[in-house]
Structure 1
Amino acid sequence: MPAPLTRLPRHTARPTLWRAVCALILREMATSHGRLPGGYLWAVLEPLLGIALLSAIFAISFQAPALGTSFPLFYASGLLPFLAFSDITTKLAQALNFSRPLFAYPAVGVLDALLARFLLAAGTQIAVSSLLITGILFLSETRAIPDIAELGRAAALLLVLSLGIGILNCLLIGLFPIWQRIWSILMRPMFLLSGIFFTFEAVPLPWRDVLWWNPLVHVVGSVRRGLYPGYDATYVSATYVLALGLGIALLAGIGLLRWHRDILSDL
């Protein structure tokens, strides 16, 4: 007579999840940056060189930036959120393809792959942005007074938005591979339309009302409100960004749970 089945304690599921996530994070760190000369140094050099180039170009044409007195700080407050959004969404979009060989193991699931890539990319971008902004504040005369609470809210908006769009891209690329090229094309004008080079208030009507629907404009505005004490950025709507990011994440997550087997079979 076979022995009766025993039910595992409920608390065993969570350690298994986090063990899988931690293992995937270590694998991601080794494959993404460990094979490059300099490793994670490139994660700092890429935005640093971009900020330096923008500052040099616009310092020749303008006497002062649109906010404050520091060109590097102004462009860092716009470029860093955009690069973070681009990096996180790109990593999430390729999560299933990147971890596909590991799905043969019962302990590794779709949620593990998405969570591992999100945590590593988000942590890397927050660390890089904090390092660069702190360096600019200490090395140049910016007259900025950072509001840590507001910068924390801006980071939360960025992460929620990136999570939602990243999961959506993961689903759409899996179902329709052509979406990867379409998204790449869409992101090119976003570099110019996300408030990196200008403030929202400087855009004339009615284009300002159209630009308001770009969620990255709200993220950049929140970052600048956290760095410039005299900048109110009353147009920023945390509710809009959070609702958009969480809503997309929920719907895209349901879609991935429904179609992930079909997607993996086609990869």
Structure 2
Amino acid sequence: MVTLKQQLYAWRTVIFALFLRELQSKFNDKFGLSWAFLEPFVFILALSFFRGLLNEGDIHGISLFHFMMIGLVGLQSYTTGIQSVSMSIRKNKPLYAFRQVQPMSAIVTSGFLEVAIKVVVIALLALALYLVGDGISVDNYLLLIVLFSLLWIQCISVGLMFGIAAAFVPEVDKIKSMMMRPLLFISCIFFSLQDIPEEYWPYLTWNPIVHFVELARYACFPKYGSQGVDLAYTVETTAGCLFLALCLYHITWKKVLAR
């Protein structure tokens, strides 16, 4: 009989090995790990510059750079998490010949790696702002941590569903790419939800990223307000995505191995 402790130890060993493999394959070019941190910096600076051409100064009590940084970090975390997790099942397919390696191990490893990268990126962004004298102060750390955790649980769940679907129908990857492209424009990244007439809010607030981003801005700057968004909606959508993803995985994981 294999005890639970032995199973957990074997699973931990597998995940650690997959983590090292994922880390090496993800940053095997000349830029290495530095690219994971340089890309968000450049992306945020470029889009903040273009956004500044439209409106200079504060946006509902938040500086332009802080406004864009919170929105873009949230969106990038969501999209890169979904992309990485959805590709992990197919990318690690040769390893499933080993009995100890299962698709869930690859999913957990990929999700954990993306979380670790984004945590370091956020820390470096905060340090850079502090060094230039424009440090960001967080009013509600608990709310921000809860939002970040819910965001990652949801993106890993959605990525898992896309990954399973792509194992049976490869064309799902193209549909996923098409769905990701408009998120930059409908997730309140460039504009605040408060800048849009209230009668149009229902066309945007179905998107959970809007709630994550606007509540994150509110957690850092209470004067920004939280009109039109709700923490309960993020919890409900995250729980729903997680439930559906786990059910789908439980039903299909053996068939995924046989694909």
Measured against aligned partners, the alpha-carbon deviations of 1:223-245 in whole angstroms (never above 9, x if no partner) come to 11122131231433222222222
The counterpart of 2:66, out of the listed 52, 60, 73, is 73
Per-residue deviation at 1:27? 0.7
TM-score (norm 1): 0.90
The counterpart of 2:232, out of the listed 232, 239, 248, is 239
Indicate the larger mover: 185-194 or 172-181: 172-181
Secondary structure at the aligned position of 1:94 is classed as: helix
1:145 aligns with 2:129: no
For the 8 Å contact 2:218–2:226, the answer to whether it is kept is yes
Count how many residue pairs are aligned between Structure 1 and Structure 2.
258
1:161 aligns with 2:154: yes
1:48 aligns with 2:36: no
Partners of 1:47 and 1:107 lie apart in 2 by 36
CA change 1:202–1:84 in 2 (3 A) is: same
The counterpart of 1:12, out of the listed 6, 14, 18, is 6
For the 8 Å contact 2:56–2:64, the answer to whether it is kept is no
Per-residue deviation at 1:91? 0.8
For the 8 Å contact 1:171–1:252, the answer to whether it is kept is no
CA change 1:263–1:72 in 2 (3 A) is: same
For the 8 Å contact 1:157–1:238, the answer to whether it is kept is no
CA change 1:91–1:217 in 2 (3 A) is: same
For the 8 Å contact 1:68–1:74, the answer to whether it is kept is no
Partners of 2:47 and 2:57 lie apart in 1 by 13
Partner residue, 2:197 = 204
CA RMSD for the aligned pairs?
1.8
The counterpart of 1:113, out of the listed 89, 103, 106, is 106
CA change 1:228–1:94 in 2 (3 A) is: same
Indicate the larger mover: 17-26 or 168-177: 168-177
TM-score (norm 2): 0.92
Partners of 2:50 and 2:174 lie apart in 1 by 30
For the 8 Å contact 2:144–2:216, the answer to whether it is kept is yes
Partner residue, 1:24 = 18
Identity %: 23
Secondary structure at the aligned position of 2:198 is classed as: coil
CA change 1:138–1:171 in 2 (3 A) is: same
For the 8 Å contact 2:85–2:111, the answer to whether it is kept is yes
Partners of 1:43 and 1:222 lie apart in 2 by 25
Partners of 1:57 and 1:23 lie apart in 2 by 42
For the 8 Å contact 2:62–2:221, the answer to whether it is kept is no
Any unmatched runs of 5+ in structure 2? none
Indicate the larger mover: 98-107 or 220-229: 220-229
Secondary structure at the aligned position of 1:145 is classed as: coil
Partners of 2:230 and 2:222 lie apart in 1 by 18
Partner residue, 1:128 = 121
For the 8 Å contact 2:11–2:100, the answer to whether it is kept is yes
Partners of 1:219 and 1:261 lie apart in 2 by 34
Q: Which amino acid aligns with 2:171?
A: I
Indicate the larger mover: 75-84 or 248-257: 248-257
Per-residue deviation at 1:181? 0.8
The counterpart of 1:255, out of the listed 243, 248, 251, is 248
Measured against aligned partners, the alpha-carbon deviations of 1:125-166 in whole angstroms (never above 9, x if no partner) come to 122123213422442446x52132232122112112212211
Per-residue deviation at 1:22? 0.9
Any unmatched runs of 5+ in structure 1? 1-6
Per-residue deviation at 1:69? 5.4
Partners of 2:257 and 2:54 lie apart in 1 by 51
